[in-house]
Amino acid sequence: MSIKTTFSIRDLEHLSGIKAHTIRIWERRYHLFEPIRSDTNIRSYDQKNLQKLLNVVFLLDKGYKISKIAELSENDLYKITRELQINSDQPSQAMDNFKLSMLGFDRVLFDQTYFQLLEKNSFRDVFLKTFFPLLEEIGMLWLSKTITPAHEHFITNLIRQKLLIQTEKAQQLPKLHEQTFALFLPLNEIHELGLMFLHYELLVKGYNSIYLGQSVPMENLKDLQDIFDSITFVSYFTVEPALEFIPEYLKEFSDSILSPANEELHLLGRNAQEFSQDNSFPNILIHKNIENFLNTLN
Amino acid sequence: MNYTIAQAERLTGIKAHTLRIWERRYDFLVPERTETNIRYFSDAQLRKLINVSILLKNNYRISSIAGMSEDLIHSKVGEFLSLEDTENEEVIKALILSMLIMDEAEFNRIFNRLVLRSGLMHTITDVIYPFLGQVGVLWGTNKVLPAQEHFISNLIRQKIISAMESLPQPGENAGKIVFFLMEQETHEIGLLLGAYLAKDLGWKVYYLGQNVPSDDIAMTVELLEPDLLMTMFVAARNYKNDEILCRLIESRNIPLLYSGNLAYLPCKTASDCHVPVRNPAEFIAFLQEFRENTTQIQL
């Protein structure tokens, strides 16, 4: 396969968190890598180099000295890393594997890593402690042009897929509460993984949860009030509405949807945080994070 | 929520003309009127109409249905729908009912029963696909019910994605097909259906999803060297993106399959590289034929 597997030293820096300067020193001192040089003498690295570097970083975090690590054969390096990973609850290796799977569009590696992680962790932990940070980091990698949006699309779709499969299972669980939630994103907002995760959690807790998803115009929400006697709205503002329009949006929401029926809106997400200080609507509750919201349910 | 007579026709399959006649002859279904005297049906009336249409399918006469109580109609419909040989057309109506009241549990029951009866592939091609077309969700056209559309698209997306997971991983030498939507395109139900079918046929599926910038599609094609590309068009076209896409597929000679709102062709000039696909059957046929042809080349 001709998947692009060469990386510049900058790419390595972005992917591993080790400064290019340091990588060069390790090369000189310990012969850790032997990058290929271009005609103009510029280093380039392959996927094996990247994997090795990620393993090195893992051992450094575990307290190994770089001089010791450098003495290990490739095989030992791999073996020791694996052993430590299995015995630790640190999902950091999983993070690295997910990154590698993304770079190589490698579905199989993604699945292997995921199922391994799921053996020891609940799906909730996998999502909150690995997928969420992973996505954040990917956002940064994308900004630094180490990866392309196609990479991001690929990995985001895989994560979404895992989440939906868990949701599908959660839908078979019995309903324990009367309360019905309606989950939606405001118009033009498409960042839905956070909201999808809330849907999953609500189902697990035995609530009736109606998932409406991306970009729902406000007037559509009124139709729900014809169908359900009482409904609690949940939304997740990442980039929409733009900060300056949030007060306006919430006022309209409160006036036209919440107040007449005396219902509540729970808000999460980055853009919602910005407004949490100034929130004066009694029916609108802004939560710091997902856990915070879930805690209010019990 | 209120439904016009045209929406009622679309959702129940009963002609508007017939609905007007019933209104005159029987008093079991009298629509409300707006101030300007236009008919509309309430939620409850629409649900009743769908039930009535199911009974009609099962050889009841409208004259006898007109005399039945709501409860009786409801229980008769329940009987028909639980029969082994329920026709797809009726199952679709039952799905529409569950969609109208956003009853996820009921939708799941019907869906799971279908899967047990005819398998996932046929559930998707024979029931879900026509169902989506009927309620106007497939291409986002003729929006019948905005809130329900959101609800049902997300639920079906979930079904298809879970279904894909249960399919076996393709072999090493499987053909590669990349699925994507271009910028501004967010309507992915059709694309997911295609991805499911391709994986079921043993293809290696790379699913990039919504709103992929054309430069990235170009890059992905370079990285993955796929055998086929597949996309859907629903929104109006952005010609600059089209040009990039066209140059790409023409220079690499990779067929681009496309479907959706066929009014929006990706390029001004058609060529062998552009394969319009009108329905799942055409898509399946193309994939099978393509594989046979390429195997011959290898031999």
Q: Does domain A1-87 have CATH number 3.30.70.890?
A: no
Q: What is the mean pLDDT of chain B?
A: 82
Which conformational region is residue A180 in: left (phi greater than 0), alpha (psi within -120 to 50 degrees), or beta? beta
Count the domains in chain B.
2
Answer yes or no: do A160 and B161 touch at CB < 8 A: yes
Kind and range of the H or E element at B71? helix B70-82
Answer yes or no: do A105 and B224 touch at CB < 8 A: yes
Residues of B in contact with A167 (CB under 8 A): 158
Identify which of B157, B209, B216 has the shortest CB distance to residue A148: B216
Answer yes or no: do B147 and A108 touch at CB < 8 A: no
B252, pLDDT greater than 80: no
> According to CATH, what is the number of the domain A89-170?
1.10.1240.10
B58 and B180 co-located in one domain: no
Answer yes or no: do A1 and B209 touch at CB < 8 A: no
B287 and B220 co-located in one domain: yes
B150 and B179 co-located in one domain: no
What is the per-residue burial (b if ≥16 Cβ within 10 Å, else e) of A191-217?
bbbbbbbbbbbbbbeebbbbbbbbbbe
Number of residues in chain B: 299
B128 and B241 co-located in one domain: no
Whether the pTM exceeds 0.80: the reply is: no
B195 and B258 co-located in one domain: yes
Structure tokens at A201: 């959690």
Number of residues in chain A: 298
Q: Measure in Å the smallest separation between the Cα of B42 and chain A Cα atoms.
A: 10
Q: Measure in Å the smallest separation between the Cα of B86 and chain A Cα atoms.
A: 24
Residue B58 maps to which CATH number?
A: 1.10.1660.10
B147 and B186 co-located in one domain: no
Rounded to an integer, the average pLDDT of A267-294 is: 88
**Cβ-based contacts under 8 A for chains A and B:** 101
Alpha-carbon gap, residue B67 to B72, rounded angstroms: 10
Residues of the domain holding B136? 3-164
Structure tokens at B253: 């000679």
Closest of A164, A230, A171, A148 to residue A197, by C-alpha: A164
Q: Measure in Å the smallest separation between the Cα of A67 and chain B Cα atoms.
A: 37
According to DSSP H, which parts of chain A are helical? Answer: 9-16, 20-30, 47-61, 66-71, 74-87, 92-103, 107-120, 123-125, 132-143, 149-170, 193-204, 218-227, 246-253, 259-261, 270-273, 290-295
**Looking at the predicted complex, does its ipTM rise above 0.85?**
no
Q: Which residue has the higher pLDDT, B261 or A186?
A: A186
Rounded to an integer, the average pLDDT of B162-168 is: 86
Answer yes or no: do B206 and A2 touch at CB < 8 A: no
User: In chain B, which residues touch A (CB < 8 A)?
Assistant: 1, 43, 101-102, 104-105, 108, 145-148, 150-151, 153-155, 157-159, 161-162, 164-165, 169, 180, 186, 206-213, 216-217, 219-220, 222-225
Q: Where in chain A is the domain with CATH 1.10.1660.10?
A: 1-87
Answer yes or no: do B223 and A105 touch at CB < 8 A: yes
B206 and B133 co-located in one domain: no
B65 and B174 co-located in one domain: no
Residue B164: band (very low, low, confident or very high) from pLDDT cuts 50, 70, 90: confident
Give the pLDDT confidence of B170-192 residue by residue, as tens digits.
Answer: 888 889 999 998 887 778 888 99
Residues of A in contact with B162 (CB under 8 A): 164-165, 168
Give the pLDDT confidence of B10-48 residue by residue, as tens digits.
Answer: 888 889 899 898 888 887 778 888 888 888 888 788 888
B91 and B232 co-located in one domain: no
B177 and B130 co-located in one domain: no
Which residues make Cβ contacts (< 8 Å) with residue B115, sequence separation at least 6? B123
Helices A47-61 and A9-16, packing angle to 10 deg = 40
Answer yes or no: do A223 and B217 touch at CB < 8 A: no
Which value, in Å, is the radius of gyration of the alpha carbons in chain B? Answer: 22
Residue B198 maps to which CATH number?
A: 3.40.50.280
Q: Which residue has the higher pLDDT, B185 or A220?
A: A220
Task: Provide the greatest CA pair distance for chain A.
Answer: 72
Query: What's the CATH superfamily of A173-295?
Result: Cobalamin-binding domain (3.40.50.280)
